[in-house]
A and B are shown apart, each in its own frame.
Chain A
């Protein structure tokens, strides 16, 4: 049974006015937040306090607050979305912290994700990678009757496992190399598992990887930090698959 316990938290939050600003950590104390509140609601409380004092609130990205839109993005004590597995920052609740804890909150850090303000970063590199080939090139009106192309159930399930990616960027943030391999591989893998994805299979892998490199993400060191950080449980097997897909694309060409 939830009990309403009030807690006090000490925060060290990265504040950066804009892309050009140097940025720095600022210490805050948030008092009297309910333990049942979510992490982002705790930041709401902080912001309300700051505004009342005439200070600027901490900018952070968020929207659905139920773990599916992929907007929220912050390192909480060095862990993307906090240290709970398979959880986004908006699903993280204060009951997992102790009264009096000090929490360090930092933005995603990667050259490919420049900081816009405070904890808000620009993740448009992900959009450009998808533009490069993360789709089936079918025009509206082209589609055949849906049941004319059966998809074996295990393939549909494997595709769905990979398709669950929410594009939040936690994989990049947690990776010591700021590599986007898990993100890219999830989309490549989804399509590689489906008959609809076959005609563009080689082209897709090649173009998406080329764009990934162009965006200056790091390379994959196979450490598995991305999988651990992924709030949707996207598996490392996708990266192995992407490595295979690129080889396959090369051999086929």
Chain B
């Protein structure tokens, strides 16, 4: 009985959106911490590698990774499902696009597209870094993976930098809509609440901007020697 009611609740369009919002917010927070960690590149190579080593050598990492993967999958599967339902809800589109105040924002309209590209980015990103070339280094007498060198190597390739920048602009756009939208799905605030809307933009700019600083610093300003 209780089980059935939860199933109905989470299976409703509103329930699904709540899960999307909740997982989206969790992933947003992850991007924030990830970005903050990356900023250690500006401190030193050792600080960056040590941070990375500390994270991966903690046994709790497996749990955290499993959680992330689960959130990611829920987020992706439900949005794909919802998008299919939404498209079916309007089988024939309009000839003339909306304009003025009645127009839907570009970020909102393309969230599924930016999301799909981000999915591709994440897969490639993991392949490049997590499962990429392993350099090693020793910090304070501990041998560990030298992820710093790998990052610098990649950020010196113009093609990679371009792809990385594009993906981060997409991430920013995705967050600019997704962050505030989650609050509405969760029933906390309307997504056009003026403070929330500003906060959403600020969050998107900080996260995307924070990530973008390193490739720029490496490629244009010679960070990492």
Q: Residues on A close to B: CB < 8 A?
A: 12, 14, 25, 75, 77-80, 83, 85, 104, 106, 109-112, 174, 176-179, 181, 209-210, 212-213, 216-225, 227-229, 235-237, 239-247, 250, 253
Contacts and interface: CB of A to CB of B under 8 A. Distances in A.
Interface string B87-114: 0111111111111111111001101000
A237 B190 contact: yes
Nearest to A220: B17
Given A83-B101, A109-B93, 12 more contacts: A79-B100, A104-B95, A111-B90, A176-B90, A176-B109, A177-B86, A178-B86, A213-B12, A220-B14, A224-B104, A228-B101, A250-B5
B191 A216 contact: no
A246 B9 contact: yes
B18 to A, nearest CB: 7
B8 to A, nearest CB: 7
A229 B9 CA distance: 29
Interface string B63-106: 00000000000000000001001101111111111111111110
B89 A217 contact: yes
Contact of B89 (A78, A80, A177): A177
Nearest to B101: A228
A246 B184 contact: no
Contacts of A235: 190
Contact of A12 (B6, B95, B183): B95
A212 B14 CA distance: 10
Nearest to A236: B190
12 contacts: A78-B94, A83-B101, A112-B89, A174-B102, A176-B109, A209-B14, A210-B8, A219-B85, A223-B105, A224-B190, A240-B191, A243-B185
From B17, B108, B184, B189, residue with most partner A Cβ within 10 Å: B184
Given A210-B8, A243-B185, A219 B16 contact: yes
Given A79-B98, A246-B14, A178 B90 contact: yes
* In the A-B complex, the 6 residue pairs with the closest CB atoms: A244-B187, A218-B89, A243-B187, A222-B181, A177-B86, A218-B86
B6 A250 contact: yes
Contacts of A244: 187-188
A253 B89 CA distance: 30
Contact of A75 (B8, B96, B100, B101): B96
